[in-house]
Amino acid sequence: MTTVAEQVGTLLADLGVGHAFGVVGSGNFHVTNALRAAGVPYVAARHEMGATTMADAYARTSGEVGVVTLHQGCGLTNALTGVGEAAKSRTPLLVLAAETAGSAVRSNFRVDQDALARAVGAVPERVHSPASAAADVVRAYGICRDQRRTVVLNLPLDVQAAPAVSAPAPARTTWRAPRPDPASVAELARLLDGAERPVFVAGRGARGARAELEALAERCGALLATSAVAHGLFTGAPWSLGISGGFSTAPAAELIADADVIVAWGASLTMWTTRHGDLTARATLVQVDDTAEALGAQRPVALGVLGDVAATARDALEVVGTSPGYRTPAIAERLRMHGPDVPDEVVGDRIDPRVLSAALDDLLPAERTVAVDSGNFMGYPAAYLGVPDEAGFCFTQAFQSIGLGLATGIGAALARPDRLPVAACGDGGFLMGISELETAVRLGLGMVIVVYDDAGYAAEFHHFAGDDHTTVRFPDTDLAAIAAGYGCTSAVVRSTADLGVVGDWLAGPRDRPLLLDAKVVSDGPSWWLAEAFKGH
């Protein structure tokens, strides 16, 4: 007899699930083993938040639907921060959440799982009965894949255990992004034709549209920038400004702020990308997005274009005129000279995070995937560690939770095993997510984990300068020794002279993580943090 749990796992494999993550309990035991039996690789994490973040990062990096399986009740509540992050980021993530049987009204595991999903922005769905199971799974998977939504698919235990109803799975209805309205495209072209200093800001919705955006930018003379989550989209482009917003270099921020027309392509224009609106205040602002609700949601726009990014850029290229725009010899010289500031090294007990990041950028292979946790340190790896393309940067920071960086690095590593994974964490976030260090060691992941260790929650002790910092500063911890206990290669880094371990590790088998406990200087807030706290 095939059960509904087995049917669900087999059907998801048939639909194309490439990887699954989770923490197994009694409620998700059978569906997880059904996925595995159907050939879906599975990673057993040590905490549900870690498992969910791994699945999120896998989805972002691979472009596939991520899948995580959870126990009922507490398994889902443990995962909620990861589910909220994925939902806010519009990650196509399918959360297979076991649920208490309808009759188990006194179960200690019973919570309103639909309400929990809605509370963090996910879409609640359910396998209602054996007869509807196949249709329920196909519907939930389609919402993930085609609408880029995070879906919590509740699997009641009594339905899971019931005999499956043998019937063909329904065909999946495919949703496609809309083609832009010709009048909107004509208005976009008119604005670009009149622009002297146009800038394109590409977001996550522009991934895969580099060629179309570069062709249009070349025609109208636009400079190119990205939001943080799309970092790497224009790597190597001569007219690229890098990241727009808090992580911008000073020259890039000046050029964006001086633009007369800014077009956001699949970018939501958050306060981080616009520096609380300062970077876009003097420009005519245009937003192109395939979701109507996104247009003008964060910033008032002069023109909102509903349409697929690549299709809109192609259509605009057909009608826009040719102009040098912002691409003048003087601007080319400014771009040639611009880059993140790297001070001279002053050798002491602690290393400057800019010196550390620049040195690592030189030492590590260019083919890399960089995952960044949240904290005062986060601008350093974002700005100083180059990435080969938009798949090379994984930034699970829509919810701004610390503690996701290590799990993000693991999920991204499994999505791109051909690249060196680099997880950048603060000491606070690393210790919060340290349970997944065992997962990385168990998987034999050859990843570099860089802990920017200032022995505290720097965002807080810099923000509340002059106050009592007892609650946000801690004794120095030998994180390298802890990592060695887990089975990592590890080293304490106080100067660039201590980075010789990196070359030795790179030359070796890379069959375990390398953890660098970098004791960093923290005598002031990072430039991005000072900018961010203006709005708090």
508 or 193, which is more confident: 193
Rounded CA separation 532/421 (Å): 28
Structure tokens at 156: 């009641």
In Å, how far from its chain's centre is CA 397? Answer: 6
Rounded CA separation 447/411 (Å): 11
Say yes or no to pLDDT of 534 above 70: no
pLDDT digits 0-9 by tens, 139-151: 999 999 999 999 9
The pLDDT value recorded for residue 335 is 87
Please enumerate in sequence order all residues whose Cβ is within 8 A of that of 16, keeping only pairs 6 or more positions apart, or say none.
Answer: 64, 65
pLDDT digits 0-9 by tens, 444-461: 999 999 999 997 777 777
Rounded CA separation 468/237 (Å): 47
| 380 CB-side CA count, 13 A | 28
Structure tokens at 103: 């009759």
Rounded CA separation 379/374 (Å): 9
In Å, how far from its chain's centre is CA 443? Answer: 22
Q: Region 152-159: what's the mean pLDDT?
A: 97
pLDDT digits 0-9 by tens, 252-299: 999 999 999 999 999 999 998 999 899 999 999 999 999 999 999 999
Q: Where residue 497 falls among pLDDT bands split at 50, 70, 90? A: very high
Rounded CA separation 255/465 (Å): 32
Rounded CA separation 66/82 (Å): 12
Rounded CA separation 31/29 (Å): 6
